[in-house]
Amino acid sequence: MRVKFEEQLTVLNDMLIEMGQMIETAINMATKALVNQDTELAKKAISFDLEIDQKEQDIESLCLKLLMQQQPVARDLRLISAALKMITDMERIGDQAADISELTILIAGTPFIKKLEHIPQMAGATVKMVTESIEAFVKKDVDLAKAVIDYDDVVDELFMTVRRDLIELIHANSANGDQAIDLIMIAKYFERIGDHATNIAEWVAFSILGNKEYMAPTRYQ
């Protein structure tokens, strides 16, 4: 019975890695579509969210099967519970990548009021956080999970830089207002993606340590 359970846990790890790769792809597609003002790619990024939703459902079904059929011990129960929490945040990252693509379509065809520099940096930072949070789960590496949590400060600082620069452009010329607001919203979605990646890392730490030492009081849902 335990051998079968361990085999199913391996399948769960593989599915989480696959979902992690999917949301990395979603972030990268949304970013490339934005930078290149590529509306066709943006539409693909929006459609791709349906595949992420399906993957969440598949993982949820496996977790519930493990809970009902295998009677896991406390450590295993924490791991499965953390996986269920993680996929919720991963699904929300997919939603926000789609939201970014919807705004990309909205502002396409109009030259950028400012060269996009810090927003792509935010995207790269969030991909790093997602990748390393999933890696921390698979490797049971609490130090890596903690590093992901700390790295969220980088995303937050980049968001404040983007916001400040765009507000200055609005003050300089009110005609910049509409696009500046849309770009601030896009940056905010990336900032939220960073928060969800942090949530994932916090649940990883919980699954390993069995306590909520690294859990923040509230984050985006």
State which H helix or E strand residue 197 sits in.
helix 177-209
Query: Contact at 8 Å (CB) between 157 and 190?
Result: no
Query: Contact at 8 Å (CB) between 96 and 161?
Result: no
Query: Contact at 8 Å (CB) between 198 and 215?
Result: no
Residue 218 one-letter amino acid: T
Distance CA 138, CA 105 (A): 36
Place of tokens 């060269």: 115
Query: Contact at 8 Å (CB) between 185 and 103?
Result: yes
Class of domain 2-209: mainly alpha
Residue 105 one-letter amino acid: I
Query: Contact at 8 Å (CB) between 26 and 98?
Result: yes
Question: Domain residues of the chain, as ranges?
Answer: 2-209
Distance CA 55, CA 87 (A): 9
List the pLDDT tens digit at each of the 221 positions of the chain.
Answer: 577 778 888 899 899 999 999 999 999 999 999 999 999 999 999 999 999 999 999 999 999 988 887 676 777 888 899 999 999 999 999 999 999 999 999 999 899 999 899 999 999 999 999 999 989 988 989 999 999 999 999 999 999 999 999 999 999 999 999 999 999 999 999 999 999 999 999 999 998 888 766 666 545 55
Distance CA 210, CA 196 (A): 20
Residue 24 one-letter amino acid: E
